Chains A and B, each alone.
Chain A
């Protein structure tokens, strides 16, 4: 079964770091782009990061550039999103997606004091 499973979410204080993981199974993870998309409570979808299949190129919107780092370990079939200096506006459900087709179930990140 083609599957992505996110983990690592939780409640953190503003300014704290947090690292999300995205475990892939059932498909060739190393051949696909990995994307992270988030959705604040009751809001729409926002693209957060992308990394190409071999991990050599990454892309971010200005809202997270310099604070978030996307990576992937093709040997472990796992992608990551390292989030630093978190802000209250980063509170959202975070989804990983392989290409644009397969999405995980999401993991909640809450930034609050």
Chain B
């Protein structure tokens, strides 16, 4: 099974600041066939179901603000949120869908000071 190690567990920032959330996989998520990384990022606001932010490690889902940026390849991935807004208060999860069983990171709680 691929283990997804996500960090930090939580962080608190002021509006306008930038945050980075990291996810490391125990095996490469890069497909040799299409050169795509099978890594997605989700945002879950309090009391809501998760929402897809980023897929293939760096492709922003339609409608997602461009302050959300996904990067990385292979085993190391980062979600960067620039100019954090109060509405970004949420839990964030990475997901590998390279192989079964699909596995999520443990989550990062973003709090706004």
Contact = CB atoms under 8 A, between A and B. Distances in A.
B102 A44 contact: no
Contact of B97 (A44, A100, A106): A100
Given A44-B107, A45-B93, A45-B107, A101 B52 contact: yes
B104 A44 contact: yes
Contacts of A46: 104
A7 B1 CA distance: 31
A59 interface: yes
Interface string B90-113: 010101010011111111000000
Contacts of B106: 44
Contacts of A62: 101
A51 to B, nearest CB: 12
A55 to B, nearest CB: 17
B49 A59 contact: no
Interface string B6-35: 000000000000000000000000000000
Nearest to B49: A103
A106 B49 contact: yes
Query: Which one of A45, A60, A95 has the greatest number of beta carbons of chain B within 10 Å?
Result: A45
B61 interface: yes
Nearest to A46: B104
Interface string A41-72: 00011110010000000011110000000000
B95 A100 contact: yes
B104 A45 contact: yes
A46 B107 CA distance: 11
Interface string A94-110: 01000011011110000
Nearest to A44: B107
11 contacts: A44-B91, A44-B106, A45-B42, A45-B44, A45-B93, A45-B104, A59-B100, A62-B101, A100-B97, A101-B52, A101-B61
Given A35-B102, A44-B104, A45-B95, 16 more contacts: A44-B91, A44-B93, A44-B106, A45-B44, A45-B50, A46-B104, A59-B101, A60-B101, A62-B101, A95-B49, A100-B55, A100-B95, A101-B61, A103-B51, A104-B49, A105-B49
